[in-house]
Amino acid sequence: MAISKKMMNVNALNQNIHLYACPICSLPIQVVDEARLVCEKNHSFDISRQGYVNLAPQAHATKYDQSLFEARSIMMTNGFFDPLLERMIALLERTFEQKKNAVMMDAGSGEGSHLAHLLSKLSSEKFSGIGIDLSKEGVATAAKNYPGNSWIVADLANCPFQSNAFDVLVNILSPANYKEFTRLLKKDGLFIKVVPEIDYLKQLRAIFYEKTEREKEGNPVDSVAAHFTKVQTERVIYDFPLNSLLLESLIRMTPLAWGASDEKVESALSSNLSFVTVDFTMIIGTNC
């Protein structure tokens, strides 16, 4: 008898349940009756019909909706992130060559495609994964599309996990909470943050902003270096070919169109761009 997607996700929860902590009282938590998570003080959190759990009691609506997640899935399927993820996979394989049963958390996992892709290319004997995001829509999509992993609605400011729980923490194009990240990572655990670089989507930004320069932001390398040791960076830059479907999906995937006029969006859609520049930096650190 085939196992349901929900049960695949429940089994994944059980595999790493010792890493979880109640978001209300921080006590250990257990799976009960394959239907809910319950802590020692009887705080209870239902496992949804898709197999994810909401461990963010104060969760609220985010700007990241189903349309964005569908667009990101299309771009993912067509290889938009492949060169970046291949570099991450190579790094993980080198770093954990001699280790088994490493647990990786994707902090800001969205609809789950990044974590699922990484895990699909890595040995299941060496890695299991937990994805967290504050967007219930994204987590529900991940639980449905990528069963067999743990998908959790959680707040980066109050992650429902024990300290020193994870071997790897990845943070891809998402906000960071470095205090929580250093708490969650094991000593000598690996942290990988991915940020957009100066030429990221410069062709689209030229249309939306009529210039390609980015606003001045804090230096993320300095932020990582303030919390982690052995910090290094790797630049990943490439051109990605576009057609009309991919151009539309790319525009929906990024924040570029948020608040833009209809005229700007239409100008971008009708631009007939044949490629776009993808430019990332991986910032890699070790928990001290």
> Is position 248 within any domain?
yes
Residue 274 lies in a domain: yes
- Long-range own/partner contacts, residues 199-203 (CB < 8 A, 24 or more apart): 199/237, 199/277, 199/279, 200/277, 200/278, 200/279, 200/280, 201/250, 201/254, 201/256, 201/276, 201/277, 201/278, 202/276, 202/277, 202/279, 203/271, 203/273, 203/275, 203/276, 203/277
Is residue 17 situated within a structural domain? Answer: no
The verdict on residue 2 lying in a domain is no
46, 29 contact by CB (below 8 A): no
Report pLDDT for 9: 96
Is 12 a domain residue?
Answer: no
Residue 9 belongs to a domain: no
Give the domain range for residue 182. Answer: 51-286
In a domain, 177, yes or no: yes
Q: Does residue 222 lie in a domain region?
A: yes
Backbone angles phi, psi at 10, to 5 degrees: -65, -40
Q: Which residues contact 244 (CB under 8 A, 6 or more apart)?
A: none
pTM: predicted TM-score of the whole model, two decimal places: 0.93
Contact status, residue 171 vs residue 109, Cβ threshold 8 Å = no
The helix (run of H) or strand (run of E) holding residue 119 is helix 113-121
- Measured N-to-C along each axis, helices 244-253 and 262-269 cross at an angle, to the nearest 10 degrees, of 140
Rounded Cα distance between 4 and 220, Å, is 41
Tens-of-pLDDT digits for all 288 residues of the chain? 689 999 999 999 999 999 999 999 999 999 999 999 999 999 999 999 999 999 997 766 666 678 888 999 999 999 999 999 999 999 999 999 988 999 999 999 999 999 999 999 999 889 999 999 999 999 999 999 999 999 999 999 999 999 999 999 999 999 999 999 999 999 999 999 999 999 999 999 999 886 544 454 579 999 999 999 999 999 999 999 999 999 999 999 988 888 788 899 899 999 999 999 999 999 999 998
CATH code, domain with 235: 3.40.50.150
Structural domains counted in the chain: 1
